[in-house]
Every structure is written in C-alpha cells, then in structure tokens.
Amino acid sequence: MAGHSSVLTDGGRLSQIDRGLYRVERFMALLSGIAVFSLMVLAVVSVGGRNLFNAPLPGYVDWIQQLMPLIAFMGVSFTQRDGGHIRMDILVGRLKGRALWGAEFITTAFMLVLIVLLIWGSWAHFERSFDFTRPLWSRDSSIDIALPLWPAKLLAPVAFSVLALRLVLQLWGYARAFAQNLAEPVAVPLVRSAAELAAEEAELVSGGKE
Amino acid sequence: MEPIEIGIAVSAFLLVIVVLGMRVAFAAGIAGLVGLFWIFWAKFGYEPDRFGRAMTIAVKTAGQVPHSKVASQSLSLIPTFILIGYLAYYAGLTKALFEAAKRWVGWLPGGLAVSTVFATAGFAAVSGASVATSAVFARIAIPEMLKLNYDKRFAAGVVAAGGTLASLIPPSAILVIYAIIVEQDVGKLLLAGFIPGAFSALVYGGLIVSMALVWPKFGPPVRGFTWRQRLAALPPAFPIFFVVFIIVFFIYNPFGGDPWGTPTEGGALGAAVVFVMALINGLKWGQLKEALIETAKLTAMIFTIIWGVLIYVRFLGFADLPRAFSDWISGLDQAPMLTLVMILLAYAVLGMFMDAIGMLLLTLPVVYPAVMALNGGELVSAADSTFGMSGPMCAIWFGILVVKMAEFCLITPPIGLNCFVVAGVRPEVSVQDVFRGVAPFFVADALTIAGLVAFPQIVLWLPSLA
Amino acid sequence: EEWNVSLWGKARAFTSHVEKLAEVLDETTDGEFTLNISYGGLSKNTENLDGISIGAFEMAQFCAGYHRDKNPSITVLELPFLGVNTLEEEIAVSMAVYNHPAVQDDLGRWNAKLLMPSPLPQYNLVGTGEPRTTLEDFDGMRVRATGGIGEAFRTVGAVPTSVTSSEAYAALDSGTVDTVAFAPHAHLSFRTIDMADWWTTNLNPGTVNCPVVVNTDAYEMLSDEHREALDAAIPVVMDHYLEAYGKIYEQWDQVLEERGVEKVTFSEEDLAAFRAKAADPIREKWIADMSAQGLPAQELYDVMMDALAKAQM
Ligand code: NA
Ligand code: NA
C-alpha cells in the first residue's frame, strides 16, 4: 500500500474529473522525464563540444540548474494520484471503512493546507525574481551566463497548484466514501487484493523487454 | 521557549505524524513550517498582532526551499542515474545479469537469492541509485524466487538489501554528494567504493548460504546448468562491462593519465551509452516514454522527500540544533575510536528517521570536521594521525563508512526507502513483510561496517594506488 | 536584541569581520545586542538577499556576481582591470559605491542596507602543464572564470568554462579546464593549488564584490544606543579583517614555495594589451546596458574611479 496503489474509475462526475486531471498529470510527468533525457543530451553536447571543437557549452551548469525544477516538481501530482509518495502505513493499514476514509481525509487535509501555504511561499519566491519593467523581466539571474531565474521558480507554484487540485479531488473522494460508507470508492488510491494487483503487475512488466 | 527546545519539540511532533501515517515528505514540510512559524513568533514575544507577520516570514522562508534546493548540479546526478537504471532494464541488461548470475552461482545453497545479490552488485555498476536498483530487481527476481517457494518476505528482503550496493559501487550519486560537501576528490572516492561494495556483496552472499545451510526449508539451489549454457549467458550481460568502462574512465583513469571529464558529465554520458544500447536492442518509443514517466515518478517521489526534509532542515538551522549536536560530540572525553563508532551509531539511529541525502546534508558540515580533527587535522600525515591514515585518506575512509551507514538506513524501519519501493512494486508484499525479510541483512551490514572500520585497507588500497 | 546572521561555508578570513563584529557588539553593549552567526543554516548563499527581503534574518553576506540581476548597480565593482591593487583600495572603492543613492535604491528593493564590504584580493590563474607566459599562450586555453573576469579572458582567445567552485579541483584534474581563476585564499580552500604547476603573480584582472547587508527595518528599529554601537564597530572590524588577510598572504608565499609552483609574471606590454582588449569594451557595454535599465551607470563608474584615485594618492 505504501507505494503503488490503484485508483478505481466509474462513469460518475468525480471519476471523470479524476481521469481528466490524470491526463494533465501524466503529460507533466512526461515533460519531467524529457527534461531528464535532455540532461543527457546536454552532457553529450558539452563533452563533444569541448573535446572535438574546443568549444564547451556556455553556461552548462546554469542550464542544468534551470532544468532541475522541471525534473523535480512536474511529477509531484502524478505521484500523489496513485498514492506514490511514501509513508508509514503500520497504523493506517489496519483501518477499514469509515475509520480509514476519515483518517485519509484528515491527513490529506493537512497536506492541502501545507501545499496551499507553499503555493503562497513559492509564488512569493517567484515574484521576487520577476519584474515586468526589467530586461527579460528578470530580477534574479544565474551565476555564469545570467539566465533569468523566474521561469524555473514559477514551476514550483504551478506544480503545487495542480497538486492542490488533486488533493481537493481526493478530499472529495474520501468525504464521499465516508458519507456513503463505500467499500471501494473511485478517484482515491486504494489497497486492493494481492491477486488483482499481481495480474496488473504482470501486464506492466510484460510491456518492458526483459 | 529557547530555539533548541522548539527544535526538539517539533522533531518529536514530526516523529508522531510520520508514525500516524502522514506521507513523509509532507510530514517533514509541515513540521518545518510549524517550527519556522514557532521560532519567528517566539522571537516576536508571541504578540497577537504580530502573528500574521511571523506566519508570512515562515511561509516565505519555507517557500524558498523547494526551488532553491533542487536547482543544483550535484542533485542532477540522481535523475540521471535513475534513468540509466530504467534504460538498462528496458535494454534487457537486468534480466541478462540475473540469468548469468543464476547459471554461475545458482548451485549454491539459497542459490537464487545469492544470484540476486550478485546480479544487483553487477547492476550497481550501471546504476547510481539504490532505490532504482531495488525497484527493477523487485520486478524480475522476486517472481522467480516465489516460483521456487522462497519465503516472500525473505525474497523481498534480498532485493531491498541488494539494491543498497548501488551506492557504494560507482557510479554513486550519494558518494558524489559526499565529495562535494566535504570538498574531496570525487574520483578517488568513487574508486574507493569498488572493493567495499564487492566486500558487502560477498558478506550478503555468505549470510544467505549460511541461512540456507541452517534451514533446510529455505529455497532450493538451481542446478543443472552446463558449462556451455553458462558461457552462453555471458555475452548478453557483456554490454554492462562496456558501460562500467565508460563511466569509470570518465570519472577516473585507473591506468594513469587524465580522466575524460567531470562526474556530472560522466553520469549523463553513461546514460547516453545505455540509451544507445537500448536502441540497438530495439527500444520502442512507447517503452522509452514509459521509462521517462517511470523515471519522473521515482524522481518526483525522491525530490519531494528532499525538499520536504530540507524545509525541516531549514527550520533546524534556525533552531540551531546542529550546533548543539556538534558541541555535544566534540565535548566527549573518551577514546577517538569510540567517538567514531558512536558517530556511526548515531547515523544508524538518525538514518532510521531521515532521508539519506537530507541526513548527510544536515550533519556532514558539522560531523566531518569533527572526524578530521579526531584524526589530527586535514593535513595530518599517516604517521602522526590517530587512525593511522593521512587527512585525505581519512576523508575517503569516513566517506565510505558514512555512505554505508546511509545505505543501511535505506533498509531500516520506519522510513527505509528501499523497503517501501520493493513493497510498492510487488503487490503481494507489504512494507512490514519487507522489513521483516530484510532484518537478517542488518547483521551482514553490521559485520561489513565492523570490517571496514577494523581494516581500513579494504577501503584505501585502491585509491592509494592512484 | 539578537540578530540572526546568514553566512556560508565555514569561519575563515572572508567572514572574520562579521565574527569580530559579534565579539565587539557583545562587549560594547554588555551582551544586550548579540549576533547569532549561521554558516549556511538559514539560507543558500545565492538567496541571502531573499532572506533579508523576507525578514527571516537581519544580516547577511553575498557576492554581487552570484546574481547580477538582483543587484545590477554594484556589479560595477566587478568590472575587469579597474586597477585596484590592495584591500584598502578595494574598501575605499566599495564604500564609495555603496554610499551612492542609486545603489542604495537598488538594494532598497530587497529592504537591504549595505553595511560593509568583504574586500577580496585580485584573482589570478593557477594552471597545469607548461606555464603560459604571454597573451598569445591564452589562445584556446580553457579557463574556469565567471562573470566579467570570464568575459575578459574571452577577449584574448581563452575559452571560459562553467564549473562551480567546488568542482574546480576535479575539472582541473580531469583537464576539463587548463586553468582556474580564483583569489589566493580560494585556491587554497578549493585545493586547486595542489594541482598547480604555475601561478600568475600580476594578471590582476579583477575580483568579486561581496558586501555585508542588514535588513533596513531591523536597522531602523534598533535603539539609538545599539545602532551607534553597530556603526562605531565597523572601522574596528575592518582593521581586524585586513589583519586576517595579511596572514593568508604570508601563508600563500610559503605554500607556493613548498609545492614548487612556478611564479609567472607578465610583461607590462602584455598587461597593457590585455587591458586594452578587455577593459574598455566590457566597461562600455556595462555602461550602455545599465544606462538602458535606468541606472546612472557613468556616474557610478566615475564615483568609483575618483575614490580609487584618492585612495592611491
Ligand atoms: Na552504483
Ligand atoms: Na505492496
């Protein structure tokens, strides 16, 4: 339950919104993966340029620092959707039914409070680096080739806002499960039986060439 | 309340909410934010009309951390090394290694588990991230062990423990981070990781064989491979040696002469080499996309813990808890070796509750100079030193010990990341199962660390040649 | 009253004025006004201005070159080949610039008030392999140098390469760069001197400027007595700082000798040619860019050079 859990779907409105948001989250995660891939390309260009043409990539380090927030933040909500952020589940794992949904609702609500505050804080961090009246709108720049830092800083509140939407959706899901005393609610990460998940897992692994 | 008391109170609060099931990254973030607010409001004498001001400062201070801390060149090695791991998996290298290990050492008692350990050690040479190594081997090794009726908890434990080898055997993100924090030669540190990594793998293997000899119901050996079959298993695993060669030569040239670049470039080029191999092995766009998304997911999980813990660490900075800790350590009136052992034990305890990178970032600026001073200073000669090694050699030795401790904390409850990841990948195994299965390896790690402390030459022989 | 101070690294000559300030204030105010100095615990060094702006801590040190867009006005002090020779001259030019109203407005955006400089010795090259003794030898040389100093080397055909200071040693070791430009103390602390075959004694292309600032609100909220104690302490602690650097210079010569590092001294003609190629175009570009941003760039430059002339009299 700690890592990979699955999310049920149905034809209802909550599930539709869940799947819609999931598409956005998956796309953002792919962007993050592509950014990792481009770290690799940057290194090839940097090493090749230096050794073949004596022309190192200017600002190699600055570009890496610009890429890192893309890599680090863009998958945060995607990971939360499937319950992928780790936790100790010794206590929560023993709960069932309303007690479980109530506990999940409370921890998720605390996460939402944190994330809303961090949207405020990280937006302020972005705002300090941004100034419409200056060249490239920049009030803060990188050390070597003076790249504006605001686009990378903006990624934190953007990714956190998507995460906040996800948390609101999960709160809705848990509240609904609690109110209706559901056994298998949609749109929230669930613990499912080992057999069901094993079948899914086998499918996933057969997708990769071994 | 004094800042240090606030530091202790909030740390206790963090422990409680983690145990109650709050996701770790967010629990640390909440604790950090609460702590920052408390510190600032306390500074304002808890005046009600300055509540908002204290809140604003706390939120803005915490809000800096995520961008500020992740926009770092050294941390870029982490996603790069995770990507190498996934690409190697899609290129078929993991399966090839496992197959080769099975045919060569499967005949031993507990053979499949021993094979798993050696295959993870081999994979460690293309993977810089322990967690990623455990994740990929959870997919291929656990099902095979279950087929042969291995205990599922032990099978999961083997994979979780085997994964930790990736951080000692180069390339290793965490060794690079250590080198950067303490400003030591990255090449020598990475080189120093080879033999202790192999030593660890041998201790794990020995432990499994002994357990299999003691308990007859342990998983059976896999016999019956001919020499022809054994030799046939080698070529598919061979590309991994090519990758090792590239990465090692980029970071350090064992035959003298200049290495070919910096660690950052070396890691990324290693990924590029594995990518080309995966392409040659028929990597499809769909698979690449899957590898990129999986990389993003694991990266997001790790980085969320990193910035979450670092919000908490930022609060600790304001609470001045690290300095209190350092005063306590350096004020001890006892034998230096005992102090060193106590520091390592403190890491074992701290590592139970903290992310390895966060732990190193937080403590090394304090602990490293203390250890250097214990040995007689940064520039001490081997003859004049306490531990019988020069300053730079002591830095390498301590680095390997600390990284081994950080690895150890990847498999200890309650926040042993490798165990969570194995449980996450294998639906039939719960986190508690993995923690139970990995417990015997605590003994193996304790033996390994004792060996490295008692015989520093295991660590220092290779780098001293350079 | 206790102020939090955000520095980075470890206690060293570069932070000796702040350390001394804590000591002096503690004495003169009978422990009523104290500084709580943190090395990296309160902020990342490139974000010390952010922390000052938020009000998270009351005093901090940073370097202008870390983030040109945060403090465009004081980057004038990092222009190459200003002709500053001593730390005393560096203090004089820094204070002249810090006291200019346009500079105070620029830092005022961060709610920061400039308190004192942390003057650094001139940068020089540490290199591996055959010594490069003439300007022609710089052609194609890969040099670790940032900002204006990197630009200066580019004008004579060298190739500036991005490497963080902590990776400089590895970069020199691996041949990623042939040379590294640092002030002597940084060559010591980042251990590039251990790799060195030669060192340039008189290239003196410039240095970085690293002021200590205080949060304006906190400064104004100080009692008169404490504010006077703070202001009065500055000359005392700057003297202490100069003394600390004096000791490093002694050590530096000794280190060069011990490791058999060859001292390379450039001819006056070469230095003049280098200045002509690098100093004028970079300065003119700086003045044009900063004027476009609405800074009195020419005036700042003149104020600085006047102060230098006075200090050299
Ligand atoms: Na590795
Ligand atoms: Na599981």
- HEC sequence for chain C: CEEEEEECCCCCHHHHHHHHHHHHHHHHCCCCCEEEEEECCCCCHHHHHHHHHHCCCCEEECCHHHCCCCCHHHHHHHCCCCCCCCHHHHHHHHHHHHCCHHHHHHHHCCCEEEEECCCCCCCEEEECCCCCCCHHHHCCCEEECCHHHHHHHHHCCCEECCCCHHHHHHHHHHCCCCEEEECHHHHHHCCHHHHCCEEECCCCCCCCCCCEEEEHHHHHHCCHHHHHHHHHHHHHHHHHHHHHHHHHHHHHHHHHHHCCCEEECCCHHHHHHHHHHHHHHHHHHHHHHHHHCCCCHHHHHHHHHHHHHHHHC
B328-356 average pLDDT score: 80
Chain A neighbors (3+ CB pairs < 8 Å): B, C
Average pLDDT over all residues of chain C = 91
For residue A131, count other CB atoms closer than 10 A to its CB.
17
Per-residue pLDDT tens for B206-216? 999 999 898 87
Per-residue pLDDT tens for B360-415? 765 676 688 778 888 877 777 888 888 889 888 999 999 999 999 988 888 887 76
Which residues from chain A sit within 8 angstroms of residue B307, using beta carbons?
A: 72
B293-308 average pLDDT score: 86
Alpha carbons B393 and B375: distance in angstroms, whole number: 10
Specify the higher pLDDT residue, B259 or B5. Answer: B5
Q: Are strands C212-215 and C112-116 parallel, antiparallel or unpaired?
A: antiparallel
pTM score, whole prediction: 0.83
For residues C168 and C182, the answer to whether their CB atoms sit within 8 Å is yes
Task: Kindly report which listed range (A24-38, B255-269, C115-129, C273-287) carries the lowest average pLDDT score.
Answer: B255-269
Q: What is the CA radius of gyration of chain B?
A: 23
Which residues from chain C sit within 8 angstroms of residue B265, using beta carbons?
A: 176
**Residue B93: pLDDT over 90:** no
- Supply the angle between the helices A60-73 and B285-319 in degrees, to the nearest 10: 90
Cβ-nearest to A140 among C67, C142, C161: C67
For residues A84 and B301, the answer to whether their CB atoms sit within 8 Å is yes
Q: Report CA(B167)–ligand 1 centroid distance (Å).
A: 5
Using the Cβ of B369 and the Cβ atoms of chain C, whether some distance falls under 8 Å is answered with: yes
Nearest ligand to residue A194 Cα: 2
C41-65 average pLDDT score: 93
- What is each CA distance from C268 to A171, B280, C81, C262, C281, in whole angstroms? 74, 59, 14, 19, 20
Q: What is the pLDDT of residue A201?
A: 44
Exposed/middle/buried for A64, CB within 10 Å: 0-12, 13-18, 19+?
Answer: buried
**Residue C146: pLDDT over 80:** no
Using the Cβ of A183 and the Cβ atoms of chain B, whether some distance falls under 8 Å is answered with: no
DSSP B50: G
Task: Phi first, then psi: give them for residue B377, nearest 5 degrees.
Answer: 105, 165
Q: What is the pLDDT of residue B268?
A: 84
Token digits of residue C299: 């005036």
Task: Compute the Cα dihedral for C288, C291, C295, C298 and give only its sign.
Answer: positive
Q: How confident is the model at residue B190 (pLDDT cuts 50, 70, 90)?
A: confident
Taking an 8 Å cut-off on Cβ atoms, the answer to whether B417 and A86 are in contact is yes
Residues 331-360 of B with CB under 8 A from C: none
Q: Report CA(A5)–ligand 2 centroid distance (Å).
A: 8
Taking an 8 Å cut-off on Cβ atoms, the answer to whether C293 and A55 are in contact is no
Q: What is the pLDDT of residue B325?
A: 64
Number of structural domains found in chain A: 1
Cβ-nearest to C44 among B68, B185, B259: B68
Q: Report CA(B38)–ligand 2 centroid distance (Å).
A: 38
Mutate to test the interface with B, among C54, C174, C251, C258 (most CBs of B within 10 A): C174
Q: Report CA(B11)–ligand 2 centroid distance (Å).
A: 29
Length of chain C: 313
Residues 294-333 of B with CB under 8 A from C: 314, 316-318, 320, 322
Using the Cβ of A106 and the Cβ atoms of chain B, whether some distance falls under 8 Å is answered with: no
Report yes or no on A166 lying in a domain. Answer: yes
| Domain region containing A119 | 13-209
* Minimal C-alpha gap between C32 and chain B (Å): 15
Using the Cβ of B463 and the Cβ atoms of chain C, whether some distance falls under 8 Å is answered with: no
For residue B279, count other CB atoms closer than 10 A to its CB.
13
Which residues from chain B sit within 8 angstroms of residue C40, using beta carbons?
A: 317, 365
pLDDT above 90 coverage of chain B, percent: 27
Residues 69-88 of A with CB under 8 A from B: 69, 71-76, 78-79, 84-88
**Residue C209: pLDDT over 80:** yes
Q: Is the ipTM of this complex over 0.90?
A: no
Q: How many CB pairs under 8 A join B and C?
A: 72
Cβ-nearest to C293 among A50, A62, A135: A135
Name the residue in chain A with its Cα closest to that of B99: A210
Please name the residues in contact with C189: beta carbons below 8 A apart, sequence gap of 6 or more.
B183, C9, C12
Per-residue pLDDT tens for B408-459? 888 887 767 788 888 878 878 888 888 999 999 998 999 999 999 999 999 9
pLDDT tens across the length of chain A (210 residues): 233 447 888 889 999 999 999 999 999 999 999 999 999 999 889 888 877 887 778 788 889 989 999 999 999 999 999 887 877 666 787 788 899 999 999 999 999 999 999 999 999 999 999 998 888 898 888 877 889 999 999 999 999 999 999 999 999 999 999 999 998 899 998 754 433 444 444 444 444 433
Nearest ligand to residue B426 Cα: 2
Q: What share of chain B is helix, strand, coil (3-state, %, to 5)?
A: 80, 0, 20
Q: What is the pLDDT of residue A189?
A: 87
Taking an 8 Å cut-off on Cβ atoms, the answer to whether A86 and B71 are in contact is no
Q: What is the pLDDT of residue C169?
A: 82
Q: What is the pLDDT of residue A199?
A: 43
Alpha carbons B255 and B466: distance in angstroms, whole number: 8
Report yes or no on A2 lying in a domain. Answer: no
Mutate to test the interface with C, among A51, A136, A143 (most CBs of C within 10 A): A143
Per-residue pLDDT tens for C116-137? 999 998 999 999 989 999 999 9
Report yes or no on A6 lying in a domain. Answer: no
Cβ-nearest to B262 among C40, C44, C170: C170
Cβ-nearest to A3 among B73, B91, B421: B421
Using the Cβ of C159 and the Cβ atoms of chain A, whether some distance falls under 8 Å is answered with: yes
Q: How confident is the model at residue B334 (pLDDT cuts 50, 70, 90)?
A: confident
Cβ-nearest to C50 among A60, A125, A144: A125
Taking an 8 Å cut-off on Cβ atoms, the answer to whether C142 and A56 are in contact is yes
Using the Cβ of B271 and the Cβ atoms of chain A, whether some distance falls under 8 Å is answered with: yes
Q: Report CA(B87)–ligand 1 centroid distance (Å).
A: 15
Alpha carbons B448 and B375: distance in angstroms, whole number: 22
Q: Report CA(B12)–ligand 2 centroid distance (Å).
A: 28
Q: What is the pLDDT of residue A209?
A: 35
Per-residue pLDDT tens for B131-166? 778 887 888 889 888 888 888 899 999 999 998 898
Q: What is the pLDDT of residue B361?
A: 64
Name the residue in chain C with its Cα closest to that of B73: C164
For residues A38 and B272, the answer to whether their CB atoms sit within 8 Å is no
Taking an 8 Å cut-off on Cβ atoms, the answer to whether A56 and C67 are in contact is no
Q: Closest Cα partner for C209 from C36, C87, C55?
A: C87
Report yes or no on A54 lying in a domain. Answer: yes
* Minimal C-alpha gap between B370 and chain C (Å): 13
**Residue C232: pLDDT over 50:** yes
Task: Phi first, then psi: give them for residue A148, nearest 5 degrees.
Answer: -65, 140
Task: Kindly report which listed range (B325-329, C7-11, C171-175) carries the lowest average pLDDT score.
Answer: B325-329
Q: What is the pLDDT of residue B118?
A: 92
Using the Cβ of B259 and the Cβ atoms of chain C, whether some distance falls under 8 Å is answered with: yes
Give residue B321's Cα distance to chain centre.
24
Report yes or no on A1 lying in a domain. Answer: no
Taking an 8 Å cut-off on Cβ atoms, the answer to whether B26 and A33 are in contact is no
Which residues from chain A sit within 8 angstroms of residue C142, using beta carbons?
A: 50, 54, 56
Alpha carbons B167 and B127: distance in angstroms, whole number: 8
- Amino acid identity of residue A125, one-letter, is H
Taking an 8 Å cut-off on Cβ atoms, the answer to whether B60 and C56 are in contact is yes
B328-350 average pLDDT score: 83
Task: Kindly report which listed range (A73-77, B142-146, B319-323, B460-464) carries the lowest average pLDDT score.
Answer: B319-323
Nearest ligand to residue B422 Cα: 2
Using the Cβ of B436 and the Cβ atoms of chain A, whether some distance falls under 8 Å is answered with: no
Q: What is the pLDDT of residue C89?
A: 94
Residues from C contacting B (CB-CB < 8 Å) are 4, 10, 36, 38-44, 46-47, 50-51, 54-56, 163-164, 166-167, 169-171, 173-176, 189-191
Alpha carbons A145 and A123: distance in angstroms, whole number: 24
Report yes or no on A187 lying in a domain. Answer: yes
Q: What is the pLDDT of residue C33?
A: 96
Cβ-nearest to C65 among A62, A138, A143: A143
